[in-house]
Structure 1
């Protein structure tokens, strides 16, 4: 469900990025009290067409009775309809439709040692995670390894510097610039698999880190994950969120359910959403999400690209093919979850449950 929220602040972060803060009315404070790492979906109607985008909340999580602060960072994407609007038109006082916080990149602060590897706008959810953790857990430590093109393109420089100033003994910051030399710190270049494999053991005791948070472009996240696996880190300690896919490679599960060879000529989808079930024929080429949306406009989705995970559903019966999967963890797919926006039927009957 979307709620109209007033924009209370628009802050220019870089030449191509802004931070947008929303005013949360008293009656919605409980709904918008987020967990660190969660995101919100924003909606805009243009010419009768609906545009939805997801953006991570970058502010620390507030506990009751404190008022929640919902701020997102938006970077301009070439040809992006919403990001262009956000940077060039959106002003204080405007109203934007916003869905309550969601997402499984969320983190409940606890004592321990944690680390993150982020690229570009991937800093946004991790900024919330690190700030909340350090403020709430005096025995926690956090290491942030961030990659950006240049210093001028780096989002939330001041906010990250503030963490270093407030908790110098518990917050470690390592910055790599891919297109600019630094006077101190790491030499320029991308943080790829090979470089991270050699770098991480020099920065911190890898085996002692209780949780790793990887966020940013797919290439960076994939390289970081491979490096951590190679260093012996168990996959249960690695949490990741893809912000965009930059190399065309998909880690998608080819099918869910028993092996099947070809799609049927006709399929019927049964889906349960908010306690109500329905049956619909699947049109040729349509995803299961598109099938549901023809009759249920309240079906959950945001990106339709297999990235945000908003449309996650449990596959009750039948078989499906997922074109892409950048959102679900291996244990989720093994348990029977699929992304409805990327799923196509491989059997005459398929049943999904969005409520599980």
Structure 2
């Protein structure tokens, strides 16, 4: 659900990134409680159209109790926004957005989370992928004295590194429980790792040298698709169980050739499609509507229910997650759902095309 929130501050981080803070009125604080690693969707209306973008919350969870539950909710929500080439919202955020403006903000969502608990945890992040992990690390170390965290981060240069000071503060505050390793792909460092990308081969060698890989209770991978895929391959090579690996894609640089061909076929109608019926349950209310060939489940629902949840429409954020109750669909891409979720019948509505005459989904499941 979206609510209008006032922008409290827009603060530069680097030459190409800012943080945006939103004021949360007292009556909405319970609705905006979040778990470390969750995100919000921001909606900006322009004339008769709208832009939606998803950004992770970067601050530690306020008021987290010893019993493991968040407090009354945040007074402020803060996200990090990095410029994307030809990005409508990121350009607006960096060049035009001012404190005092009001934007529609969805309540927190997402399953890339780390609830504070004892154990050893680690993350491999790239670029703006630090944003949700910053919230995870800060909350974990502050609330759980029996936890430790190793952060391996990759950036282009030191000047382009988001939240540089915040991460350094964590290192100063918990030097015995927080390990920081930085790799720069375009700049030499006086100390630390040699310059270069963190590919699968490099990570397979690096990770065992940094920490006891089999003893890590949870791995958190976040950033561009290439880095996350490389880290996942390295962990698989090192024998890490899939259940311990959690990932979130921040940016898909390029779709594979086969995927682009399939998307083109859907767009032109050359891919066999089903014109049938989509049934959906959303916020406790059900409906049944005709679909057209090549149309996604989300597109069918949106034509009849404008409140259907979505943000990126690219199979990345997972906001449109729904459970398939009956029928069959074909998902074009999936960078958001874990294997156990798809095995349990969950799909991304924005990427799902019906292949049976009737398809039924439940957004509330």
In the other structure, the counterpart of 2:94 is 87
How high is the TM-score relative to the length of structure 1?
0.95
Report what 1:338 is aligned to: 347
* Superposition deviation, residue 265 in structure 1: 4.5
Q: How many residues align structurally?
A: 348
Q: 1:68 offset after TM fit, Å? A: 4.2
- Classify 1:297/1:115 alpha carbon distance in 2 versus 1 (closer, same or farther; 3 Å): same
Judging changes above 3 Å, is the alpha-carbon distance between structure 1 residues 108 and 28 closer, same or farther for their aligned structure 2 residues?
Answer: same
Dislocated runs of 4+, deviation >3 Å: 65-69, 249-252, 262-265
Deviations, residues 294-347 of structure 1 (Å, cap 9, x unaligned): 010010100000000010111111111000000000011111110000000111
Q: What CA distance in whole angstroms lies between the structure 1 residues aligned with 2:359 and 2:152?
A: 43
Q: Which structure 2 residues correspond to residues 61-100 of structure 1 after superposition, within 5 A? A: 61-63=61-63, 64-65=71-72, 67-100=74-107
State the alpha-carbon separation in 2 of the partners of residues 277 and 65 from structure 1. Answer: 32
Q: CA separation of 1:332/1:265 partners in 2, compared to 1, >3 Å: closer, same or farther?
A: closer
The question of 1:301 aligning with 2:313 is answered no
Moved more, 264-273 or 60-69: 60-69
What corresponds to 1:258 in structure 2? none
Asked whether the 8 Å contact 1:40–1:102 carries over to 2, the reply is yes
Distance between the aligned counterparts of 1:250 and 1:289, measured in 2? 24
- What is the CA distance between 1:250 and its match in structure 2? 9.0
Q: Which runs of 5+ in 1 are unaligned?
A: 255-261
Corresponding residue number in structure 1 for 2:242: 235
- Residue 301 of structure 2 is aligned with which of 282, 292, 297? 292
SS in 2 for 1:82: helix
2:150 alignment counterpart:
143
Q: Distance in 2 between matches of 1:217 and 1:339?
A: 20
Q: Distance in 1 between matches of 2:56 and 2:298?
A: 23
Partner SS state of residue 291, structure 1: helix
Preserved CA contact (<8 Å) 2:117 2:147? yes
Alignment of 1:1-356 (within 5 A): 1-63=1-63, 64-65=71-72, 67-249=74-256, 263=272, 265-356=274-365
Q: Provide the C-alpha distance between the structure 1 equivalents of 2:115 and 2:273, rounded to a whole number of angstroms.
A: 44
CA RMSD of aligned residues (A): 1.5
295-304 vs 276-285, which moves further: 276-285
* Cα deviation, residue 4, structure 1: 1.0
Q: Secondary structure of 1:162's partner? A: helix
- Could you tell me the TM-score, scaled by structure 2's length? 0.93
